[in-house]
Amino acid sequence: MTDGEAGIVKAVMPESEWKLATCWNHIIRDVEFWLKKHAACSEDISVYKKQIRELLSCDTEIMLR
């Protein structure tokens, strides 16, 4: 589990076949940061964050269809 910090990811990934998981809070924070950087309004940010949480809550990709 990582917060996506480049130093951690680069240190682990080249030497292994491990699967990395990112904390939901960090994913949502990064989405919010990106949206603000691209001038999204607060309503849009709220909708996108809700949709990201919904996607992350899915047990399988089949639930997305």
By three-state DSSP, how is residue 2 classified? strand
CB distance 47 to 54 below 8 Å? no
Q: What is the pLDDT of residue 26?
A: 86
Tens of pLDDT, residues 5-50: 666 666 665 566 666 677 888 889 999 999 999 999 999 999 999 9
CA pair distance 26, 13, nearest whole angstrom: 19
| Domain segments of the chain as ranges | 23-64
Tell me, what's the pLDDT at 36?
96
The CA distance from 41 to 61, in Å, is: 29
Instruction: List, in sequence order, every residue forming a beta bridge with 23; answer none if it has no partner.
Output: none
Question: Does position 1 have pLDDT exceeding 60, yes or no?
Answer: no
Q: Which residue has the higher pLDDT, 11 or 1?
A: 11
Residue 26 or 63, more confident: 26
Paired tokens of 53: 């949480």
**Residue 21 near residue 2, CB atoms below 8 Å:** yes
